[in-house]
């Protein structure tokens, strides 16, 4: 039987990788886009003719229910969210609506329209926040430290509530940071690889960053979307921590990107207090043993591999100069 998947946030980093993955698995893939969104469809441009896109408002439950009724999906992957932590401080209520409350609207629409539909919630390691212990697993306490994390905490809990009380097949992947050449440029990894590539071809000279000691468990987005589909194929719905189990500092990411390009980062990186976080989270490191054992999921791209993939893509986007540098790196 050919399955139909409906993806919210299909225009984002994960949405685009997940759509490609599900098409490869033989799914019919449909996506929700917003009428007044960023309008940036570049991440799905290569596959857009194989997708069906629908306009609906995540904050309007009736519009979501009508859409679900029309599409009749077997699986819904809810990835849309306001995802940037500094924006969540600037716009906490919008973040609560989009990142938190949209989830219950979709869950309730599923309950009304067809409770057999399987639901995936993109939860976040940010829910661990002020973690007492590292690494974190599915049993670790939630202590969110910012409005994004608090909204994700709500979305995570309401997903479990609808599973336990209404019997829906609803589950959350507690995702640790995952990056790619499609990562939004506000996030530190992409900011580093894009600026380092520009410095290498002479289009920039300096990179201003905040806390170089901040640590994250960074993986490759293309690996993480595979876990989403695997979770919805289980006999029973369960939540899973998804991460590499390995943490690196922002400084280590900088060092890896600059040294790959043959640059000395100390000559270009300027620490700027405007990029410091008021409430930094404790070291967030995944304990993904449950995902290894139950899903058979393991990431395939290493930290070094991720940095190089992102630098290579940013070089390639810089025209002839960038492509020449990229070739020389690969020839070396
Ligand atoms: P992106 O920021 O790349 O994509 C976000 C998506 O949400 C875009 O498609 C965007 O649409 C959509 N969106 C944002 N606001 C709205 C809105 N008001 N109404 C409708 N759609 C909206 O995120 P990622 O792909 O990186 O992340 C996917 C999910 O995984 C998110 O829920 C995120 O919180 C979660 N997650 C991600 C992690 C990561 O490291 N990447 C870690 C942990 C969790 P548009 O293109 O129109 O702006
Ligand atoms: P997050 O984990 O979702 O907040 O992902 P980010 O990529 O935005 O931030 C990861 C870490 O990098 C945080 O601890 C930030 O404090 C740190 N960081 C250091 N400098 C910067 C910067 O210039 N921009 C961003 N976004 N983060 C930075």
CATH number at residue 255: 3.90.25.10
Q: Are 79 and 167 found together in one domain?
A: yes
Residue 188 Cα to ligand 2 midpoint, Å, equals 5
pLDDT at 38 over 70: no
Q: Are 153 and 274 found together in one domain?
A: no
Q: Is residue 296 in a domain? A: no
Ligand 1 neighbourhood includes 175 CB (under 6 angstroms): yes
Specify the pLDDT at position 37. 59
Q: Are 19 and 168 found together in one domain?
A: yes
Q: Are 260 and 228 found together in one domain?
A: no
Ligand 1 neighbourhood includes 15 CB (under 6 angstroms): yes
d(CA 5, CA 313): 29
Q: Are 106 and 126 found together in one domain?
A: yes
Q: Are 202 and 274 found together in one domain?
A: yes
d(CA 297, CA 229): 11
Q: Are 25 and 170 found together in one domain?
A: yes
Q: Are 172 and 276 found together in one domain?
A: no
pLDDT tens per residue, range 151-206: 999 999 999 999 999 999 999 999 999 999 999 999 999 999 999 999 999 999 99
**Catalytic residue flag (residue 124):** yes
Nearest to 69 by CA among 110, 27, 10, 19: 110
Specify the pLDDT at position 281. 66
- The ligand that comes nearest to the alpha carbon of residue 38 is 1
Residue 216 Cα to ligand 2 midpoint, Å, equals 9
Q: Is residue 297 in a domain? A: no
Contact in structure between 154 and 160 (CB atoms under 8 Å): no
Q: Is residue 295 in a domain? A: no
Q: Is residue 317 in a domain? A: yes
As a whole-number percent, the residues of the chain with pLDDT over 90 amount to 91
Ligand 2 neighbourhood includes 279 CB (under 6 angstroms): no
Q: Is residue 298 in a domain? A: no
Residue 77 Cα to ligand 2 midpoint, Å, equals 26
Contact in structure between 62 and 35 (CB atoms under 8 Å): no
Q: Is residue 17 in a domain? A: yes
Q: Tell me the residue range of the domain where 123 lies.
A: 4-179+219-242
Take residue 292 and report the two structure tokens written for it.
């290894």
Q: Are 61 and 128 found together in one domain?
A: yes
pLDDT tens per residue, range 235-262: 999 999 999 999 999 999 999 999 999 9
pLDDT at 217 over 70: yes
Q: Are 72 and 84 found together in one domain?
A: yes
Q: Which atom of ligand 2 is nearest to the CA of 211?
A: 19
Confidence of residue 32 (pLDDT cuts 50, 70, 90): very high
- Nearest CA, atom 28, ligand 2: 188
CATH number for the domain spanning 102: value is: 3.40.50.720
pLDDT tens per residue, range 90-136: 999 999 999 999 999 999 999 999 999 999 999 999 999 988 889 99
- Nearest CA, atom 4, ligand 1: 12
Q: Are 19 and 97 found together in one domain?
A: yes
Nearest to 168 by CA among 217, 243, 110, 92: 110
pLDDT at 51 over 80: yes
Specify the pLDDT at position 277. 84
Ligand 1 neighbourhood includes 122 CB (under 6 angstroms): yes
Ligand 1 neighbourhood includes 124 CB (under 6 angstroms): yes
């Amino acid at each position: 039987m050919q399955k139909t998947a409906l993806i919210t946030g299909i225009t984002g980093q994960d949405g685009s990788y997940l759509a490609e993955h599900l098409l490869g698995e033989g799914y019919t893939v449909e996506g929700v886009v917003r009428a007044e969104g960023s309008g940036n469809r570049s991440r799905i441009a290569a596959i857009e003719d194989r997708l069906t896109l629908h306009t609906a408002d995540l904050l309007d439950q009736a519009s979501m229910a009508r859409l679900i009724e029309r599409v009749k999906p077997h699986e819904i992957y809810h990835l849309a969210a306001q995802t940037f932590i500094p924006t969540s401080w600037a716009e906490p209520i919008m973040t609560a609506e989009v990142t938190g409350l949209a989830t219950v609207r979709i869950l309730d629409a599923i309950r009304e329209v067809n409770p057999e539909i399987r639901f995936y919630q993109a939860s976040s390691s940010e829910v661990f926040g002020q973690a007492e212990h590292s690494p974190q697993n599915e049993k670790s306490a939630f202590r969110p430290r910012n409005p994004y994390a608090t909204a994700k905490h709500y979305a995570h809990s309401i997903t479990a509530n609808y599973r336990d009380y209404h019997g829906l097949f609803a589950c959350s992947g507690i995702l640790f940071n995952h990056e790619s050449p499609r990562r939004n440029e506000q996030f530190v990894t992409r900011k580093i690889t894009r600026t380092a590539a520009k410095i290498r071809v002479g289009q920039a000279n300096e990179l201003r960053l905040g806390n170089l000691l901040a640590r994250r468990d960074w993986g490759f987005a293309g690996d993480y979307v595979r876990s989403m589909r695997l979770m919805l194929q289980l006999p029973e719905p369960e939540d899973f921590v998804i991460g590499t189990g390995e943490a690196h500092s922002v400084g280590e990411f900088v060092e890896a990107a600059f040294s790959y390009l043959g640059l000395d980062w100390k000559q270009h990186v300027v620490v700027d207090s405007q990029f410091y976080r008021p409430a930094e989270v404790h070291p967030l490191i995944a304990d993904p043993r449950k995902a290894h054992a139950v899903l058979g999921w393991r990431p395939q791209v290493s930290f070094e591999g991720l940095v190089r993939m992102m630098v290579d893509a940013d070089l390639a986007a810089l025209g002839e100069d960038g492509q020449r540098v990229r070739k020389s790196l690969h020839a070396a």
